[in-house]
Structure 1
């Protein structure tokens, strides 16, 4: 037991000596590396060493808060966020996010909402809108959540999670089209994760709404009535396109082939409906998906966002390299 104690003491002394030889920034960088590896407790120990060198390091306090948040110690995360924010504004925006979420996780959503509002007033950043929208959604304030997330998407449309929460908001509001369009975009940005698989299943569920096969020859179609007259024709097109999957001439097609055909029909009708319509949905989503039809890449798009569906997707990629290259070229041009 005495030897074990001496060995442990030697290790602790070695770590302490090691940290003393490093600069403040180097110690914080070591902590960040440990955090990124998922070793949050060791990261916290590094930040403690950093704060021994400089207790006024806003960055050390912020990184400490972030690691504490990941250990689910939300009280400590809140404490260090507030210390970081009191010291300077270099880490203020990200501290608002961790602080708001720490309060929310402590069962204080009203306080979290006020923190997010305060942050949004100071910083024009989509991540503040995103986190604020999630808290509002969880408290049932769908209108506030909607306003925040649509504003955030217009700031930066490449954040997958923003499209996903917007879809969930619109599902709660009972709007099928507006629940689907953000999922399509989400799957484009994030086609192959656990939440992608769930989102894809939700998308198929929306497509199948209102279509019921009562017999071999009879299919009942009902169109959801949500009060959004602008999208009523598209609602009908969704149900009609899914119903055509059962026709004799389509019986030999796979589920993915049907999916691509259905998407072609939906995106086309949406583009044709746009005309002079304005507003978030007509300016953010509809033109994008209509451009896919005009560029003749709905098919590769449909297979790409179906990545979680297994071997048929990979086989299609292997057999359709030219179509996939055309799809890639479209997005390379979009970025430029």
Structure 2
């Protein structure tokens, strides 16, 4: 049986959250995304940080593999480890998410050449365009509303224009 694809799961749940950020299901999806983003990363009692990374199956040829997110998976794990860095201890959950998500999408953009599969063709372009249009910050704050996060609520109240621009862009996004 094939292992679940962490990046594909994050992308699909994140796309759902762009449509629904109010329901109990939205909160559950965000919890799942946050757990997946930190998968394999933990801090030990001696303050060391462990990063467990799923390595690609050596028996599979890289050519022809659909939905290969090995690069983004590695980059996300490294980025997630930074949550434990002293310089990030005062950052909000939304800020930490935004940094990890931006880093992951940047890795997707950099590694997309010659990639194929449903997620690469139908889901990844949405997030790459979101990043290119500087919409990850409003997106992140919008999805954290499902947890009634006070920082997200404050951001959305202070940035009504940014939020409206994000919602309008998201609603009208079309695959190219």
> TM above 0.5, one fold?
yes
Deviations 1:258-317 (A, max 9, x none): 011111111111111101322211111111111111001111111112221113321110
The answer for the alignment partner of 1:187 in structure 2 is: 17
1:334 is displaced (CA, Å) by 2.6
Unaligned runs of 5+ in 2: 63-67
**1:334 maps onto 2:173 in alignment:** yes
**1:210 maps onto 2:79 in alignment:** no
Q: Secondary structure at the match of 1:296?
A: coil
Q: CA RMSD in A?
A: 2.2
The answer for the alignment partner of 2:140 in structure 1 is: 302
1:216 is displaced (CA, Å) by 6.2
Change (3 A) 1:272 1:314: same
Separation in 1, partners of 2:32, 2:167: 26
1:179 is displaced (CA, Å) by 1.5
Q: Secondary structure at the match of 1:220?
A: strand
Deviations 1:122-141 (A, max 9, x none): xxxxxxxxxxxxxxxxxxxx
The answer for the alignment partner of 2:99 in structure 1 is: 261
Q: Where does 1:1-336 land on structure 2 (aligned, <5 Å)?
A: 173-215=3-45, 217-225=47-55, 227=57, 230-310=68-148, 311-331=150-170, 333-334=172-173
The answer for the alignment partner of 1:80 in structure 2 is: none
Aligned residues: 165
Q: Which has the larger radius of gyration?
A: 1
Separation in 2, partners of 1:329, 1:308: 19
Separation in 1, partners of 2:46, 2:168: 43
Unaligned runs of 5+ in 1: 1-141, 143-171
Q: Contact 1:300–1:324 (CA<8 Å) still a contact in 2?
A: yes
Q: Contact 2:92–2:151 (CA<8 Å) still a contact in 1?
A: no
Q: Secondary structure at the match of 2:99?
A: helix
Separation in 2, partners of 1:216, 1:242: 19
Separation in 1, partners of 2:118, 2:9: 14
TM-score using structure 1 length: 0.46
Identify the structure with bigger relative contact order (alpha carbons < 8 Å, sequence gap 6+).
Answer: 2
The structure with the largest helix share of the pair is 1
Separation in 1, partners of 2:46, 2:93: 18
Separation in 2, partners of 1:242, 1:224: 15
Change (3 A) 1:319 1:173: same
Separation in 1, partners of 2:116, 2:96: 31
